[in-house]
A and B are shown apart, each in its own frame.
Chain A
């Protein structure tokens, strides 16, 4: 069965040795030979070869003799079965079954008239059944079931029935309803609930030892023995788990959870029930004849006594508690063994969850003081009950902010109270020195071999310890802790990060959601120059002004090259340093902007806006247009605060104010429009100034102009709140015609708009569109005028004019048109134009007629259908009833709705036209029948 740990464990521990004869005060001339033994609760029964029963109690400091009961000198007692549920003790002696009372105070009585009983077994008592008990008895070829029931006045009712016929029974055991029978040839199983034939489990090999069966786990399972092999089967005889392989063929087996105790020749072995591992050997000189007997008081749970009886002596053992076994190992610093024992107990369910956590914490502390920091923290982490504050004293000297938080747990008193790390290490090193010295002198020590052969340096140990405590604290952060604990964890974590100069970790902790206590760290971080960390910390704690102050200093120092990161002090100036400087400055601005974006403190925002925007205008804009703040900034103050040089920020802010915030103050609209217009003018000018630019630059300029103008145009179109005249002033000298058109339009200068569109931009489509928007016929005439007489030396634009007439001729008065047509218009064009116009009018008229006629046809159809609906025939029978009041219609006047429901006239009067008898509401949903479709 694989690996057996050396049987060095003390699972059972002796607590008394008992000389039955001497205790019972019998003279040395009449010796006792113990043949059988049984434990029931604290009572020990012994049966002797000379037909005596003895009772002892084991619960006093030393075993006490209670009573001796002779049952007849020729009746050697071969088995004792305490039956607590019927307040009896069953004795098998010389093939007879005898009953005694539990305290052996009365003479024994025979149970029935059975003789030559070969074996007997009692069913494990049901927890619920307190007054009865079943026995399986083998007599001759018969297997009998004997039911005992206890009645009032200690009256015992006995019922016997046959189970089956089996010859040569040597061993019996109960498991549930099943009786397991061992004969010389093998094992079989009989159920007592049905009269079924026995089921063979397996046969025994030739010349094997006599069969033995032992119920385990209070009758859940049974162990069947083949030589030194124990096969465990369940209540239905199916094998369960690997076989037990015992060191020697067992004479007797007892179970004390989680162990199996086996008596063999001259020794008793203890095995683990779960996996059959051999744990302990208790040697016993076999004194005289007879066998070793083990008995336990295992009543499913709670049993913890084992007696080992030899012919003349009884040795009493009790189970060593799991924690005691572990404690003993820890006292010897056998950590490895203690851990594997802990795991075994854990798997057995022998030790509570809390105790497991307790042991892990205890192990952790012991290892910590042994300078095995990594293992120590691993165990701390395995402990669910350990509180983070327990390790605070390792980090910070008492008294401190958290002194009151530290629980005063002593554990098993195996280690000193926690003290600052440096002291732990110094003391540990001293111990190590002593151990080295002792080792040279040839004395064994319990100090770690690794340390002895390779003594660690103080600095290494300190770093290792800190790193591991950091690991512990980090994992504590994931737990749900009280807020003072959380504060301790985070603050001390920062403290430890700083000790190891873990700048990244410091900054990460400071910038995330944390419970650091700023006052504890402020001066510390300032002194050591961890300004960024401090700034992050202020930021995360909402101390914005302080944080911003630091970021501003950092940004300034970066840019003037005065300030350098501590960490990079050692590095010489590399080509990267300028990049570093740049990014350092930028990072300061980014961090500051993060704070500012969320801040509603107007003065603070405006105070810092400047320097951030100097570094990165984008950030400046982002700060102003942020929607993260609870209270918006006053636009007035903001606009006043923005540096007039920073046109971009100004524009972005106004755009945001207008487009995102829906601001409708005309003066911001005007400012925005003016600002955009000026920008557009600026780029247009600069473009025209440098006529000969290289192509690429030129392209990007064109792009820029396009984008800027697009923005300007869109805004000018969209807003009605700005002052167009002011804007017009700015662009009047330029070629921004479309913009001008938009502005004039806003001002209602239709003719100028048309002039610009039709003549300057030659966008006849836009011009016609504008006419349509104006919506008056005279607009088209105005446009026609412009086309035919553009003035300013331009010739008439006949094509555009013809197009106009073609598209909108029908809405123009022909007379007016004719008037405008100039004399010098080519005849062909003119006739064409007029023809189109007239045709368009006729076409328009005809279209109207068609629509009119179609509508009439539909109307006719609908009337016809209505008529058909009204002239429908309806048949009424005697059964016909009103759909509303359910009364017979008979000869009454009735009404039928379009949904075919029929109601009597009275209901119709009540209901009216709009709701039918079936509840259909014609106002809400019309009714539609396929046949009503206009098909013709």
Chain B
């Protein structure tokens, strides 16, 4: 198993949740294409992207679901976070209401989602410091209490964006290793954790 770890590609479903206009699409656009647009259209339904990330000698292929923040599409969200290996809950540091909404998303995920989902809390638009409404400390404390990892990001200035995804990938692989050593063979694979391995039959 360890011998061919290098050529293993791990598919991981990742979902972005958060209030309208917090910058979910902008974060994904930054991560996937390295771009930022000032006038990003509001997402309708959900948009899908995929991007691979190499961590050490392993590769994680993220299947990213960028959901719509508009309340009207809230009911679609479970379809996207169901079976997700990771979720990024995004709020806008210049908008206190969006932080409240983020907490609601965390609650919903804790109640409905998969307990193994790795959750990240991203305080976006960190470039707009003068308009800050949500203190970083507050978010940090909240994240610690709820077992999320937290980062302030800026899709515009490209700060911490790749780091969030990288950290998720790292944790995914660590979690996978822990599982690997626990059980010899996982018969019942969850859809979010399909393993694509070039040679090994039990991963």
With both chains docked as a complex, state the minimum distance between the C-beta of B117 and any C-beta of chain A, in angstroms.
Answer: 16
- Judge whether B45 and A243 touch: CB under 8 Å: yes
**Residues of B with C-beta under 8 A to A230:** 45
With both chains docked as a complex, state the minimum distance between the C-beta of B61 and any C-beta of chain A, in angstroms.
Answer: 15
- Judge whether B79 and A205 touch: CB under 8 Å: no
With both chains docked as a complex, state the minimum distance between the C-beta of A222 and any C-beta of chain B, in angstroms.
Answer: 13
- Judge whether B73 and A226 touch: CB under 8 Å: yes
Q: Is A203 on the interface with B (CB-CB < 8 A)?
A: yes
Please name the residue on chain A nearest to B79 by beta carbon. Answer: A202
- Judge whether B75 and A241 touch: CB under 8 Å: no
**Residues of A with C-beta under 8 A to B79:** 201-202, 231, 233, 237-239
- Judge whether A241 and B48 touch: CB under 8 Å: yes
- CB contact list, B107-128 vs A, under 8 A: none
Interface size class of A (residues with CB under 8 A): 20 to 34
**Residues of B with C-beta under 8 A to A245:** 44-45
Q: Is B47 on the interface with A (CB-CB < 8 A)?
A: yes
Bound Cα distance A227, B83 (Å): 26
Give chain A's interface secondary structure class: strand
- Judge whether B47 and A243 touch: CB under 8 Å: yes
Q: Is A229 on the interface with B (CB-CB < 8 A)?
A: yes
Bound Cα distance A226, B47 (Å): 15
Bound Cα distance A186, B72 (Å): 13
- CB contact list, A211-238 vs B, under 8 A: 226-227, 229-231, 233, 237-238
Given contacts A238-B191, A239-B65, contact A231 B47 (CB under 8 A): no
Interface size class of B (residues with CB under 8 A): 10 to 19
- CB contact list, B68-108 vs A, under 8 A: 72-76, 78-80, 83
Q: Is B46 on the interface with A (CB-CB < 8 A)?
A: yes
Interface string of A620-654 (1 = CB under 8 A from B): 00000000000000000000000000000000000
With both chains docked as a complex, state the minimum distance between the C-beta of B65 and any C-beta of chain A, in angstroms.
Answer: 7
With both chains docked as a complex, state the minimum distance between the C-beta of B135 and any C-beta of chain A, in angstroms.
Answer: 34
Given contacts A205-B73, A226-B73, A238-B191, contact A243 B44 (CB under 8 A): yes
- Judge whether B75 and A1 touch: CB under 8 Å: no
Q: Is A859 on the interface with B (CB-CB < 8 A)?
A: no
- Judge whether A243 and B46 touch: CB under 8 Å: yes
- CB contact list, B4-46 vs A, under 8 A: 44-46
Bound Cα distance A761, B154 (Å): 91
Given contacts A238-B191, A239-B80, contact A205 B46 (CB under 8 A): no
Bound Cα distance A202, B78 (Å): 7
**Residues of A with C-beta under 8 A to B44:** 229, 243, 245
Q: Is A21 on the interface with B (CB-CB < 8 A)?
A: no
**Residues of A with C-beta under 8 A to B47:** 1, 242-243
With both chains docked as a complex, state the minimum distance between the C-beta of B71 and any C-beta of chain A, in angstroms.
Answer: 8
- Judge whether A242 and B48 touch: CB under 8 Å: yes
B73, B75, B76, B78: most-surrounded residue (chain A CB, <10 A) = B76
Q: Is A461 on the interface with B (CB-CB < 8 A)?
A: no
Please name the residue on chain B nearest to A245 by beta carbon. Answer: B44
Bound Cα distance A29, B74 (Å): 52
With both chains docked as a complex, state the minimum distance between the C-beta of A386 and any C-beta of chain B, in angstroms.
Answer: 34
Please name the residue on chain B nearest to A230 by beta carbon. Answer: B45
Bound Cα distance A239, B191 (Å): 12
Q: Is A204 on the interface with B (CB-CB < 8 A)?
A: yes
**Residues of A with C-beta under 8 A to B74:** 205
With both chains docked as a complex, state the minimum distance between the C-beta of B34 and any C-beta of chain A, in angstroms.
Answer: 15
Query: Which residue of B48, B76, B83, B191 contacts A202 across the interface (Cβ within 8 Å)?
Result: B76
With both chains docked as a complex, state the minimum distance between the C-beta of A229 and any C-beta of chain B, in angstroms.
Answer: 4
Bound Cα distance A233, B80 (Å): 11
**Residues of A with C-beta under 8 A to B45:** 226, 229-231, 242-245
With both chains docked as a complex, state the minimum distance between the C-beta of B146 and any C-beta of chain A, in angstroms.
Answer: 26
- Judge whether A202 and B75 touch: CB under 8 Å: yes
Bound Cα distance A590, B46 (Å): 71
Bound Cα distance A241, B75 (Å): 18
Query: Which residue of B72, B78, B191 contacts A205 across the interface (Cβ within 8 Å)?
Result: B72
With both chains docked as a complex, state the minimum distance between the C-beta of A80 and any C-beta of chain B, in angstroms.
Answer: 30
Bound Cα distance A226, B76 (Å): 9
Bound Cα distance A244, B47 (Å): 9
**Residues of B with C-beta under 8 A to A226:** 45, 73, 76
Bound Cα distance A203, B78 (Å): 10
**Residues of B with C-beta under 8 A to A203:** 75
With both chains docked as a complex, state the minimum distance between the C-beta of A232 and any C-beta of chain B, in angstroms.
Answer: 10
Bound Cα distance A216, B44 (Å): 21
A204, A205, A227, A230: most-surrounded residue (chain B CB, <10 A) = A205
With both chains docked as a complex, state the minimum distance between the C-beta of A184 and any C-beta of chain B, in angstroms.
Answer: 13
**Residues of A with C-beta under 8 A to B76:** 202, 226, 231
Bound Cα distance A230, B76 (Å): 12
**Residues of B with C-beta under 8 A to A239:** 46, 48, 65, 79-80
Bound Cα distance A241, B66 (Å): 11
Interface string of A229-268 (1 = CB under 8 A from B): 1110100011111111100000000000000000000000
Bound Cα distance A203, B79 (Å): 10
Please name the residue on chain B nearest to A231 by beta carbon. Answer: B45
With both chains docked as a complex, state the minimum distance between the C-beta of A846 and any C-beta of chain B, in angstroms.
Answer: 68
With both chains docked as a complex, state the minimum distance between the C-beta of A785 and any C-beta of chain B, in angstroms.
Answer: 80
With both chains docked as a complex, state the minimum distance between the C-beta of A182 and any C-beta of chain B, in angstroms.
Answer: 14
With both chains docked as a complex, state the minimum distance between the C-beta of B114 and any C-beta of chain A, in angstroms.
Answer: 14
Please name the residue on chain B nearest to A244 by beta carbon. Answer: B45
Bound Cα distance A205, B72 (Å): 6
**Residues of A with C-beta under 8 A to B75:** 186, 202-205
Please name the residue on chain B nearest to A246 by beta carbon. Answer: B44
Bound Cα distance A201, B48 (Å): 18
**Residues of B with C-beta under 8 A to A1:** 47
Bound Cα distance A238, B76 (Å): 12
Bound Cα distance A233, B79 (Å): 10
Bound Cα distance A241, B63 (Å): 10
Bound Cα distance A610, B191 (Å): 82
Please name the residue on chain B nearest to A240 by beta carbon. Answer: B48
Interface string of B187-203 (1 = CB under 8 A from A): 00001000000000000
**Residues of B with C-beta under 8 A to A244:** 45
**Residues of B with C-beta under 8 A to A233:** 79
A227, A237, A239: most-surrounded residue (chain B CB, <10 A) = A239
Please name the residue on chain B nearest to A229 by beta carbon. Answer: B45
Please name the residue on chain A nearest to B44 by beta carbon. Answer: A245
Bound Cα distance A238, B46 (Å): 13
- CB contact list, A539-566 vs B, under 8 A: none
**Residues of A with C-beta under 8 A to B73:** 205, 226, 229
With both chains docked as a complex, state the minimum distance between the C-beta of A340 and any C-beta of chain B, in angstroms.
Answer: 19
Bound Cα distance A242, B63 (Å): 11
Please name the residue on chain A nearest to B29 by beta carbon. Answer: A2
Bound Cα distance A1, B42 (Å): 10
Bound Cα distance A140, B126 (Å): 55
Bound Cα distance A204, B76 (Å): 8
With both chains docked as a complex, state the minimum distance between the C-beta of A228 and any C-beta of chain B, in angstroms.
Answer: 8
With both chains docked as a complex, state the minimum distance between the C-beta of B78 and any C-beta of chain A, in angstroms.
Answer: 6
Bound Cα distance A241, B78 (Å): 16
With both chains docked as a complex, state the minimum distance between the C-beta of A194 and any C-beta of chain B, in angstroms.
Answer: 17
Bound Cα distance A203, B112 (Å): 15
**Residues of B with C-beta under 8 A to A229:** 44-45, 73
Interface string of A180-215 (1 = CB under 8 A from B): 000000100000000000000111110000000000
Please name the residue on chain A nearest to B65 by beta carbon. Answer: A239
With both chains docked as a complex, state the minimum distance between the C-beta of A198 and any C-beta of chain B, in angstroms.
Answer: 15
**Residues of A with C-beta under 8 A to B78:** 202
**Residues of A with C-beta under 8 A to B83:** 238
A-B contact pairs, 5 of them (CB 8 A): A1-B47, A226-B76, A239-B48, A239-B79, A243-B45
Footprint of B on A, CB under 8 Å? 1, 186, 201-205, 226-227, 229-231, 233, 237-245
Footprint of A on B, CB under 8 Å? 44-48, 65, 72-76, 78-80, 83, 191
Other than the given A203-B75, A229-B45, A243-B47, 16 more pairs (CB < 8 A) read A202-B76, A202-B79, A226-B73, A227-B72, A230-B45, A231-B45, A231-B79, A238-B79, A238-B83, A238-B191, A240-B48, A241-B48, A242-B45, A242-B46, A243-B45, A244-B45
Q: Give the 9 A-B CB pairs with smallest separation, nearest first.
A: A243-B45, A229-B45, A203-B75, A242-B47, A242-B48, A202-B79, A245-B44, A205-B72, A241-B48
